Amino acid sequence: MARAPGKHAVIFLLVTVLIDMIGLGMIMPVMPSLIGEVTGEGLSEAAAYGGWLMFTYAAMQFLFAPVLGNLSDAYGRRPVLLLSLTALAADYVIMGFAPDLLWLFVGRVLAGMCGANYTIANAYIADISSPEKRAANFGLIGAAFGVGFIIGPAIGGLLGEFGPRVPFFAAAGLGLLNVLYGLFVLPETLKAENCRPFVWLRANPLGALRQMRKYPLVLGLLGASVFFQLAHDVNPSTWSYYTMLKFGWSEADVGASLAFVGLCMALMMGLGTRLIIPRIGEARAAALGLTLTSFGFLGFAFASEGWMFLPFMVVLSFMGLVQPALRSIMAGHVPENAQGELQGAISSVMGLTMTVAPLLSTQIFHAFTQADAPVYFPGAAFVMASACTLMALGVVTVVLKAKEKPA
Q: How many CB atoms lie within 10 A of CB 230?
A: 23
- DSSP structure class, residue 212: G
Q: What CA–CA distances, in Å, run from 344 to 119, 145, 222, 338?
A: 6, 19, 12, 10
pLDDT at 3: 45
pLDDT at 344 over 70: no
Higher pLDDT residue, 343 or 274?
274
Classified as helix, coil or strand, 66 is: helix
Give the distance from CA 153 to its chain's centroid: 15
pLDDT at 153: 81
Q: d(Cα 52, Cα 355) in Å, to the nearest integer?
A: 9
- DSSP structure class, residue 71: H
Span 14-36, mean pLDDT? 79
What share of the chain in percent tops pLDDT 90? Answer: 14
Q: d(Cα 182, Cα 203) in Å, to the nearest integer?
A: 25
Burial of 306 (0-12, 13-18, 19+ CB in 10 A): middle
pLDDT at 96 over 60: yes
CB 98 within 8 A of CB 233: no
- Mean pLDDT lowest among 1-5, 67-71, 153-157: 1-5
Instruction: Mark out the alpha helices in 160-270 (DSSP H runs).
Output: 166-184, 205-211, 216-232, 234-247, 251-267
Q: Give the model confidence (pLDDT) of 364-403 as tens digits.
A: 998 898 878 888 999 999 999 999 999 999 999 988 887 6
pLDDT at 4: 46
Q: What angle do CA 130, 331, 135 make, to 5 degrees?
A: 55
pLDDT at 36: 86
Span 170-191, mean pLDDT? 80
pLDDT at 270: 74
pLDDT at 315 over 80: yes
Q: d(Cα 280, Cα 278) in Å, to the nearest integer?
A: 6
CB 25 within 8 A of CB 156: yes
Q: Which CATH architecture has domain 9-185+203-402?
A: Up-down Bundle (1.20)
pLDDT at 407: 41
Contacting residues for 145 by C-beta, under 8 A, at least 6 apart: 17, 21, 262, 265, 266, 269
Amino acid at position 87, single letter = A
Span 292-303, mean pLDDT? 94
Span 337-361, mean pLDDT? 75
CB 128 within 8 A of CB 189: yes
pLDDT at 168: 86
pLDDT category, 298, cuts 50, 70, 90?
Answer: very high
End-to-end CA distance of the chain: 42
Q: d(Cα 133, Cα 107) in Å, to the nearest integer?
A: 37
- DSSP structure class, residue 404: H
pLDDT at 312: 92
What share of the chain in percent tops pLDDT 70? Answer: 87
Higher pLDDT residue, 348 or 5?
348
Q: d(Cα 297, Cα 76) in Å, to the nearest integer?
A: 39
Q: What is the pTM of this model?
A: 0.68
Contacting residues for 381 by C-beta, under 8 A, at least 6 apart: 234, 237, 238, 242, 301, 360, 361, 362, 364, 365
Q: How many CB atoms lie within 10 A of CB 213?
A: 9
Q: Give the model confidence (pLDDT) of 215-261 as tens digits.
A: 778 888 888 988 998 998 888 788 888 998 888 888 888 888 888 88
pLDDT at 208: 63
Element (H, E) at 115: none
Radius of gyration of the chain (CA): 20
pLDDT category, 72, cuts 50, 70, 90?
Answer: confident
